[in-house]
Amino acid sequence: MPTNEEIAHAYAEAASRLDMEAMARLRHPQWQAAWPQSGERIIGDENYRRIVEAYPGGYPTSTIQRVVGAEDRWVVTASNTVQQIVGSGDFWWSEWRMTYPDGRSYFCVELMELRDGLVWRETVYWAEPFTAPDWRSRWVDIPPAG
């Protein structure tokens, strides 16, 4: 039986590839996702699949930046994307970036709750990047892009 760390990692990887079959296998039969910013709740894998398939202009692409849970360790994927894998029982979160067909890019945070060795509940937040205001520049460091 896979550990929660392995489940969270496999789910994040499947989501980054939008591998609907793998995601469905890793989801609990009572799976739900909440999108608090729009007030929506998706109940069931089939409804999620329909949303992705119907997305105007094609579905968005994503890159996982890190997955956080309980056992500290770093993983380098084939594309050299670093993911931090940590562990905390049934509760995990991942940080990723999503690019929509119209070119808009968002930072995303996904909170996952596991039950019975499967992803049971998800809550996802999206935030558009923005330029830092000049007035804060003397107190912050802005690393170079890339």
Q: How far apart are CA 85 and CA 69, in angstroms?
A: 6
Q: What is the pLDDT along the chain (146 residues), one digit of tens a residue?
A: 899 989 998 998 888 888 999 999 999 999 999 999 999 999 999 999 999 889 888 777 666 666 665 544 444 443 323 345 556 899 998 888 788 788 888 888 888 999 999 999 999 998 988 888 999 989 998 877 65
Which domains are seen in the chain, by residue range?
A: 4-130 (3.10.450.50)
Task: Number of helices (H) and strands (E) in the chain: give both, helices first.
Answer: 3, 8
Q: What is the pTM of this model?
A: 0.77
Identify which of 124, 101, 102, 125 has the alpha carbon closest to the alpha carbon of residue 113. 124
